[in-house]
Amino acid sequence: MDERYDPKVIEPRYQKLWEKEKLFKVTEDPSKKKYYLLEMFPYPSGRIHMGHVRNYSIGDVVGRFLKMQGYNVIHPMGWDAFGMPAENAAIKAKTHPAKWTYENIEYMRSQLKKLGFSYDWDREFATCDPEYYRWEQLFFLQMLEKGLAYKKKSFVNWCESCQTVLANEQVEAGLCWRCNNPVVQREMDQWFFKITAYAEELLEYCDKLPGWPERVLTMQRNWIGKSEGAEIDFDVEGSNKKIRVFTTRQDTLFGATFMSLAPEHPMVKELVQGKEEEKRVNDFIEKYKRISREDRITGTLEKEGIFTGSYCINPVTGDRMPIYVANFVLMEYGTGAVMAVPAHDQRDFEFAKKYNLPIEVVIQPEGKSINAEELTEAFEEDGILVNSGEFSGMKSPEAREAITRELEKRGQGKKTINYRLRDWGISRQRYWGAPIPVIYCDKCGIVPVPPEDLPVVLPLDVELLPSGASPLPFVESFVNTTCPKCNGPAKRETDTMDTFVESSWYFDRFTCPDYTEGPLDQSKTDYWLPVDQYIGGIEHAVLHLLYARFFTKVLRDLGYLKIDEPFINLLTQGMVIKDGAKMSKSKGNVVDPDEMIEQYGADTVRLFCLFAAPPEKDLDWSEQGVEGAARFLNRLWRLVYEHHESISRVNSYSGKTPPGDASRKLHRKTHQTIKKVTEDIKERFHFNTAISAVMELVNLIYQVKDDVLREEKGLEVLREAIESAIILISPMVPHITEELWRVLGHESSIVLTSWPTWDEEAVKEEQLLIVVQVNGKLRSRIYVSPSADREEIKRIALEDERIRKFVGEKPVKKVIVVPGRLVNIVV
């Protein structure tokens, strides 16, 4: 054994060995309990960053720990390989996205291997491989058949700098989630996945995912945005047309005094046609087409609107309601039309004040009275109905039901549920993605590619365009094809799929990456799925994690899967920050994993990532902290170095209480540590406290070893303690522990060892420390035997000299005894 700990020698040695022995390769084994452990696979952007190191280190601890506990752990890794950065980098470097991507994969794989993660590399794949995306194209065709994929013309989010459309989830505060540039609305014919068909189930299952962080579920619930209300039809005066609104406040219907339409509302054009208002309204619409989104980023727009010159009729009061176009009404939500109730909606109130429209109070707060003239803001809460005909006197919730029933009877409305969630726009006008497998024929229209013709391979022989726009439309050999129906000349779809489609099912494919008969081998998916533990960043709370849930339900309904949800437990780890900010090139605070590994070794980097903060919190990178981690590993190394020759001659102590005070103390601490570390990892994922427990054990070994060695079974007890420390910390720092394990004479890998169990008897303290309080204040400590009963503890406490001093002559009112904890004497 070397005197000096040198990770540069040890780490590659064991990485090669693990790989050669295929220690982490797994197959289905019905006799064992399976565990599917997964970390979000990376985009091959070039190099691994600290966020990946942290994410994968957390996963690796869980994987190695559970393997040692006897689980059949599947722990795969692969590459989310389609995407725009490849294309942009390729344009810049005048290379090909495929070349760029595969080179990055090569390098990043080597980085992951240098970190010693326990992946089953035989399952690795990249999503840009046609053998992967061909199945995705098949799913698309089957979804098309079921109406779950469809094409429609609508206003979509367009990112000018990315030259492509984005789904709603991919727009953050009006900006593109990738490049942070403003997103504009553009009317385009696009492919969608009907995620809204699953809105209710996606929402409902939020209550059936107890292993998910509450805040992720909340974000998903909010994103789905269910609201219960009614659709109400308003007749347009002098026409047989109706305007349909969605409202959650049917109880305020009697107070609806005007109508607001979104600028994009299809009815606006008809309403103003030939009227003197026509030009003014059209100018207004044009203005908001140009500025609306961008202004929403900077702040709230002032409410503004314009009268269309038309009126509609309030179905319950019969009053004429002027129809306005209003800048704050969203076409995307509800029906794009809002019945305006100025007394009970703040936006409508402001609007009514500005344009001098009538305000009718129809809801009174309980025990108070308000009137329209004195209102300074809308009363938006529930209350008691007034001025509402037969419904006056009802409470809001009751009135909502009653008014809806009345409208239904008259055929002028119905109860509805509205969701904020929109269908998932998946067309991307970029090259580096999976082609959408449809063909356009002048005669037959949209024709799906026959499944037997899959995959529609993305042609690699292309010249990228400097603008970023897809070169596919110009690749004649790709575009020009024949119609599968009529055999006539036809053209292929040149849009590709959103790369979030690939990441929506990669975890399914990991169970059978080489299966060629179909997308998924049921004998494998049935065994491995669902994913037991998923680990990744919170930034995907409503992107990937929502899409993947949706896709799982689709694959279930297509007959591929038997599960309802993909991920049982979800851990969202915090960011790695430095100097109070997220690491970024522009801030110049990036710490490169390669440099850290070079300087300290993978084990030290891993240990620091796990020790500095609990996984769900942000981790503040500190070079001094890293040195602390390195110091601990050196300390462990020296301990083994100093004693390996002597303890190698004996077996680890395995009996009950050993003779000798020091030995007993160390034996007890050893078992306490086994218990603590096991529970911390298994039940709480608190690796930081698990590590600190091992540090305590090592500290105690240093402290008592000389005394222990003077005792009868001392050497055995010392070996037990040292060996336990090595095993317990091995999931965090697998290389150094593998080496030390072998130094102690073991010939097979530490990974194959069973996780130690603790002796409940040994864990117990011989003497319990009991805290004694007088009037709730700590006054003394006493030691009692664990077998002492309440009376005895009480007696010892009251006899304690310090306590007698504090109690003095005062009468003892009450004595509270909590066995094993404390005594509180109330005087």
Partner RNA sequence: GCGAGAGUGGCGGAAUUGGCAGACGCACUGGACUUAGGAUCCAGCGGGUAACCGUGGGGGUUCGAGUCCCCCCUCUCGCACCA
Q: Which of residues 748-777 bind RNA (CB under 7 A)?
A: 769, 771, 773, 775-777
Dihedral sign (CA 184, 185, 190, 196) = positive
Among 102, 139, 223, 234, the residue binding RNA under the rule CB under 7 A is 223
| 511 vs 509: CA distance, rounded Å | 5
Buried b / exposed e across 455-492, counting CB within 10 Å, b at 16+? Answer: bbebeeebebeeebebbbeebeebbebebbeeeeebbb
Residues 225-264 binding RNA (CB under 7 A) are 225, 227, 229, 245-249, 262
**486 forms part of the interface with RNA (CB under 7 A):** no
Does 542 help bind RNA (rule: CB under 7 A)?
Answer: yes
Q: Which of residues 414-433 bind RNA (CB under 7 A)?
A: 418, 420
If the CB atoms of residues 478 and 547 are measured against RNA, the closer one turns out to be: 547
| Buried residues in 598-612 as b, exposed as e (16+ CB within 10 A) | eebbbbbbbbbbbbb
What does the alpha-carbon distance between residue 230 and residue 415 come to, in Å, rounded to a whole number?
A: 4
- Tell me the three state secondary structure of residue 356: coil
Which of these ranges, 158-166, 180-188, 210-218, 498-506, lies near RNA under the rule CB under 7 A?
210-218
- In the complex, the smallest distance separating the C-beta of residue 599 from RNA, rounded to whole angstroms, is 11
821 binds RNA (CB under 7 A): yes
Please tell me whether residue 781 binds RNA under the rule CB under 7 A: yes
Instruction: Pick one of 454, 512, 610, 691: the residue that binds RNA (CB under 7 A).
Output: 691
Expressed in percent and rounded to 5, the helix, strand and coil fractions of the chain are 45, 20, 35
For the record, the structure tokens of 219 come out as 């974000």
Chain positions 277 to 306 lying near RNA, rule: CB under 7 A, are 296, 300-301, 303
- Which member of 614, 707, 794, 807 binds RNA (CB under 7 A)? 614
Binding test (CB under 7 A) with RNA, winner from 417, 486, 778, 812: 778
Site for RNA in 509-528 (CB under 7 A): none
β-pairing, 567-573 vs 531-537, is parallel
Q: Cβ 386 to RNA, closest distance in Å?
A: 19
Which span sits near RNA by CB under 7 A: 157-165, 408-416, 699-707, 744-752?
Answer: 699-707
Of 562 and 804, nearer to RNA (C-beta) is: 804
Question: At closest approach, how far in Å is the CB of 804 from RNA?
Answer: 15
β-strands 576-578, 480-482 pairing: unpaired
Q: Which of 27, 180, 181, 218 binds RNA (CB under 7 A)?
A: 218
Strand partners, 1: none
> In the structure encoding, which two tokens stand for residue 585, read together?
């090139």
- Phi and psi angles of residue 317, each rounded to the nearest 5 degrees, phi first: -100, -20
Restricted to residues 157-176, the positions that interact with RNA (CB under 7 A) are 172-173
Residues 6+ apart with CB under 8 A from 192: 149, 150, 151, 152, 423, 424, 425, 426
Pairing of strands 427-428, 496-497: antiparallel
A 10 A CB-CB count for 65 gives 22
Tell me the residue type at 392.
S
Q: Which is nearer to RNA, 109 or 578 (by Cβ)?
A: 578
Q: Is 718 helix (H, G, I), strand (E, B) or coil?
A: helix
Q: Is 215 in the site for RNA (CB under 7 A)?
A: yes
Find the helix or strand (DSSP H, E) in which 259 lies: strand 258-261
**Closest to RNA by CB, 334 or 468:** 334
Q: Of residues 301-330, which lie at the interface with RNA (CB under 7 A)?
A: 301, 303, 327-330
Least spacing, CB of residue 824 vs RNA, in Å: 4
Q: Which of residues 621-650 bind RNA (CB under 7 A)?
A: 622, 624-625, 627-629, 631-632, 634-635, 638
Cβ of residue 519: shortest distance to RNA, in angstroms? 31
**Window of 197-205, 561-569, 683-691, 748-756 that interacts with RNA by CB under 7 A:** 683-691
User: Of these, 187, 214, 408, 661, which contacts RNA (CB under 7 A)?
Assistant: 214
Q: Are 644 and 723 in contact (CB under 8 A)?
A: no
84-102: string of b/e by CB count within 10 Å (b at 16+)?
bbbbbbbbeeeebbbebbb
Among 589, 688, 749, 753, the residue binding RNA under the rule CB under 7 A is 688
Say which amino acid occupies 742: R
Q: Is residue 347 involved in binding RNA (CB under 7 A)?
A: yes
Only one residue has tokens 């891993």, namely 606
The candidate with the shortest Cα–Cα distance to 412, out of 342, 334, 271, 318, is 318
Comparison of 335 and 494: residue with beta carbon closer to RNA: 335
Strands (E), 438-530: 438-441, 445-448, 480-482, 489-492, 496-497
Rounded to a whole number of angstroms, the minimum distance from the CB of residue 602 to RNA is 18
Residue 274 or 299 with smaller CB distance to RNA: 299
Which positions from 662 to 681 touch RNA by CB under 7 A, shown as an x/- string?
Answer: --------------x--xx-
Among 91, 179, 538, 807, binds RNA (CB under 7 A): 538
599 touches RNA (CB under 7 A)? no
Per CB under 7 A, which region of 425-433, 615-623, 750-758, 787-795 contacts RNA? 615-623
Q: Is 689 in the site for RNA (CB under 7 A)?
A: yes
